[in-house]
Amino acid sequence: MLGDQLSEAMAALRAADPVADVVVMAEVMAEASYVPHHPKKIAFTFAAMRKFAARLRGQGWTVAYTRLDDPGNAGSIGAELLRRAAEHGAGEALATEPGEWRLIAQLQDLPLLVRILPDDRFLASHAEFDRWAAGKTQLRMEYFYREMRRKTGLLMEDGEPAGGQWNYDHENRKPAPGAVDYAGPLRFEPDAVVEEVLALVEARFGANFGRLRPFWFATDATQAQAHFAQWLDGGLPRFGDYQDAMLRDEPFMYHAVIGVYLNAGLLDPRAVCDAVEAAWRAGRVPINAAEGFIRQIIGWREYVRGIYFREGPSYVTRNALGHCRDLPAMFWGAPTSMACVAATVAQTRDEAYAHHIQRLMITGNFALLAGIEPAQVHEWYLAVYADAYEWVEAPNVIGMSQFADGGILASKPYVSSGNYIDRMSDYCGSCAYKVKVKTGPGACPFNLLYWHFLDRHRERFGANPRMGQMYATWDRMDAGKRALIVAEAGAWLGRMEAGEGV
Ligand code: FAD
Ligand code: DLZ
Ligand code: SF4
């Protein structure tokens, strides 16, 4: 059982025999270092693994658990499985399908029979997603989502969507409120198990990007449920309204901060949706909040997983726009004058968390406009967020955010100038750049890079009907201004590449 399979409902556990079989779990260097994970992510994984192993033992299972610093640790999942199989004389292993091609291949290539069972924590099986996708020229999330609504019956009334509409996204774009009247995620004091893990992570991974302390994550299912229950009461009612808003001093806004728990198995996706639907039926939250949340889980979450497994292992190497700049040091905390990027990176360093619109419209938007190599962007996201596993991270980064898959997920690139950031956040007020300035001293880099991006990719996007208005605006500018913008953007990128302060 892997570090993101911490649930009694895992298929491999259901198929196993508590009397005859041994559960194998291992903290291994290969998993802890395939990217330079945020120390909070490693600590969460190890602490939650240790507590889950103890829970299984309490239920009568025999668990062969290897700690990172155990002398016999063989270093990788495959090697540990072989070591334990030899130790217990096992001729066969059962696994639930890992969420990454790399690990699936590792299990399949072992000199041991490993029976890999589907991960049925998800609503849609691979076959079901592929059936839905077959023959379609465009894989629109919205239509997949409607299938999932019908399948689950969530927010459905007599076969029709509750409230009369499938999607209330248009009500979920309110700009940032003055203040947030929700305290944010429930924070847990580290207990002895967590403290022991924190000391290990400090010693082994203290140099990785990210602050380990204060460490406040839930590390078992009971704590994760308590956290979710608090958010249902305090956060969900305004979740829809401010889903796209950003505030410098409010890293979590009204977001649920449950990705980390859902993906590791501490919370169940269907159960959280049922609870949200019940809150709406009881009149405690508006429909745009309930629908907005349920869409993220049974729509987006399932849809990106379908894409990951449909597209195959090479998906993470795609680079449809031919971008090749290196990820600048500001992503690892080097100073930048861009207040929006600095704030998003700082909260990522502190919390191993940024909410969706920061990931998409600040760091993602910037990397796309600046032409950063998608593989480097992908590795960064996989490393720095506590909820990052390849099945969910890669389609969001390679597909949705960087358009590197050529438009499987997104029908147009998610790019914006500074205007959008100014409307949805309070970042610009404290920025050294001026969002209203388009060229010359103090011009917001998002303004320059936005036009630079559209100009250099005209051949690909010029005929895209959803981008017609952008190109029409560009074409209305006089030629001198256009040349100036392109030259200033190029010079700015040159300074960034040279490591000068930008
Ligand atoms: P909320 O905003 O409260 O949403 C509730 C839940 O809905 C999330 O926990 C998540 O399970 C689900 N969800 C929402 N949007 C998405 C989405 N686009 N794809 C899949 N599930 C979604 N999510 C991850 O779980 N892991 C990642 O590594 C990850 N990387 C991302 C990278 C980029 C560039 C972008 C744009 C998005 C990424 N997402 C990722 C999706 C989303 O940003 C996170 O799920 C969300 O921010 C987690 O915080 P939350 O639990 O507070 O989410
Ligand atoms: C993320 C992670 C880390 C940091 N460490 C371990 C580990 O030591 N042992 C383990 O079984 N799993 C770990 N994981 C989670 C795996 O990387 C994850 O299962 C794969 O990426 C597939 O999603
Ligand atoms: Fe970001 Fe530009 Fe606003 Fe500064 S002015 S915070 S760089 S959008």
Q: Which residue's structure tokens are 């305004």?
A: 238
Q: What's the CA-to-centroid distance between 479 and ligand 3, angstroms?
A: 25
pLDDT tens per residue, range 368-424? 999 999 999 999 999 999 999 999 999 999 999 999 999 999 999 999 999 999 999
Tell me the one-letter amino acid at 263.
N
pLDDT tens per residue, range 389-403? 999 999 999 999 999
pLDDT tens per residue, range 191-236? 999 999 999 999 999 999 999 999 999 999 999 999 999 999 999 9
Bridge partner residues of 161 (DSSP): 156
- Choose the residue to mutate in 31, 97, 103 for probing ligand 2, maximizing ligand atoms within 8 Å of C-beta: 31
Q: Dmax over Cα atoms in the chain, in whole Å?
A: 78
Q: Which residue's structure tokens are 């996706």?
A: 269
Q: Which ligand is nearest to the CA of 106?
A: 2
- Is the shortest distance between the CB of 388 and ligand 1 below 6 Å? yes
Q: How many whole angstroms separate alpha carbon 337 and alpha carbon 326?
A: 19
Give how far Cα 152 sits from Cα of 11, 123, 290, 384, Å.
20, 8, 15, 33
Q: What's the CA-to-centroid distance between 289 and ligand 1, angstroms?
A: 16
Q: Which ligand is nearest to the CA of 352?
A: 1
- Is the shortest distance between the CB of 24 and ligand 1 below 6 Å? no
Q: What's the CA-to-centroid distance between 436 and ligand 1, angstroms?
A: 31
DSSP code at position 433: S
- Choose the residue to mutate in 387, 415, 416 for probing ligand 1, maximizing ligand atoms within 8 Å of C-beta: 387
Among protein residues, the one with the nearest Cα to ligand 1's atom 7 is 296
Q: 298: how many CB neighbours lie within 10 A of its CB? A: 25
Q: How many whole angstroms separate alpha carbon 125 and alpha carbon 175?
A: 37
Q: How many whole angstroms separate alpha carbon 23 and alpha carbon 94?
A: 9
Q: What's the CA-to-centroid distance between 225 and ligand 1, angstroms?
A: 18
pLDDT band, residue 171 (cuts 50/70/90): confident
What local confidence, expressed as pLDDT, does residue 146 receive?
97
Question: Which residues does 388 contact at the CB level (< 8 Å), separation at least 6?
Answer: 41, 381, 382
| β-pair type (22-26, 62-66) | parallel
Percentages helix, strand, coil for the chain (3-state, rounded to 5) are 55, 5, 40
pLDDT band, residue 138 (cuts 50/70/90): confident
Q: Which ligand is nearest to the CA of 417?
A: 3
Q: Give the number of the atom of ligand 3 that is nearest the alpha carbon of residue 338.
A: 7
Q: 112: how many CB neighbours lie within 10 A of its CB? A: 15
Crossing angle of helices 269-281/221-234, nearest 10°?
A: 30
Mean pLDDT computed over 164-193: 91
CA-nearest of 312, 308, 448 to 391 is 308
Q: How many residues does the chain have?
A: 502
Crossing angle of helices 77-88/101-108, nearest 10°?
A: 30
pLDDT band, residue 137 (cuts 50/70/90): confident
Mean pLDDT computed over 457-479: 96
Among protein residues, the one with the nearest Cα to ligand 3's atom 7 is 338
Tokens of 359: 């990931």
SS (H, E, C) 259-285: HHHHHHCCCCHHHHHHHHHHHHHCCCC
CA-nearest of 219, 243, 98 to 168 is 243
Q: Give the number of the atom of ligand 1 that is nearest the alpha carbon of residue 256.
A: 3
pLDDT tens per residue, range 243-266? 899 999 999 999 999 999 999 999
Q: Give the number of the atom of ligand 3 that is nearest the alpha carbon of residue 434.
A: 5
- Is the shortest distance between the CB of 154 and ligand 1 below 6 Å? no
Q: How many whole angstroms separate alpha carbon 140 and alpha carbon 126?
A: 17
Q: What percent of the chain has pLDDT over 90?
A: 96
Q: How many whole angstroms separate alpha carbon 421 and alpha carbon 484?
A: 23
pLDDT tens per residue, range 77-131? 999 999 999 999 999 999 999 999 999 999 999 999 999 999 999 999 999 999 9
Bridge partner residues of 160 (DSSP): 157
What local confidence, expressed as pLDDT, does residue 320 receive?
98
| 174, pLDDT greater than 90 | no
Q: What's the CA-to-centroid distance between 393 and ligand 3, angstroms?
A: 26
Q: What's the CA-to-centroid distance between 447 and ligand 3, angstroms?
A: 9
Mean pLDDT computed over 318-331: 98
- Kindly list the protein residues whose Cβ atom lies closer than 6 A to any atom of ligand 2: 2-4, 26-28, 31-32, 37, 42, 45, 77, 98-100, 103, 389
Q: What's the CA-to-centroid distance between 236 and ligand 3, angstroms?
A: 29
In the chain, what are the domains?
A: 11-117 (3.40.50.620), 126-184+235-311 (1.25.40.80), 329-497 (1.10.579.10)
Tell me the whole-structure pTM to 2 decimals.
0.98
CA neighbours closer than 13 Å in the CB half-sphere of residue 364: 26
DSSP code at position 99: S
Q: What's the CA-to-centroid distance between 418 and ligand 3, angstroms?
A: 6
**65 in Cβ contact with 25 (< 8 Å):** yes
- Is the shortest distance between the CB of 258 and ligand 1 below 6 Å? yes
Q: What's the CA-to-centroid distance between 254 and ligand 2, angstroms?
A: 28
Q: How many whole angstroms separate alpha carbon 351 and alpha carbon 329?
A: 19
Mean pLDDT computed over 303-329: 98
Q: How many whole angstroms separate alpha carbon 311 and alpha carbon 304?
A: 11
pLDDT tens per residue, range 254-312? 999 999 999 999 999 999 999 999 999 999 999 999 999 999 999 999 999 999 999 99
**447 in Cβ contact with 409 (< 8 Å):** no
| β-pair type (160-161, 156-157) | antiparallel
- Choose the residue to mutate in 217, 356, 362 for probing ligand 1, maximizing ligand atoms within 8 Å of C-beta: 356
pLDDT band, residue 474 (cuts 50/70/90): very high
pLDDT band, residue 173 (cuts 50/70/90): confident
Question: Which residues does 248 contact at the CB level (< 8 Å), separation at least 6?
Answer: 339, 343, 425, 426, 427, 430
pLDDT tens per residue, range 14-71? 999 999 999 999 999 999 999 999 999 999 999 999 999 999 999 999 999 999 999 9
Q: How many whole angstroms separate alpha carbon 465 and alpha carbon 37?
A: 40
**365 in Cβ contact with 416 (< 8 Å):** yes
- Is the shortest distance between the CB of 238 and ligand 1 below 6 Å? no
- Is the shortest distance between the CB of 396 and ligand 1 below 6 Å? yes
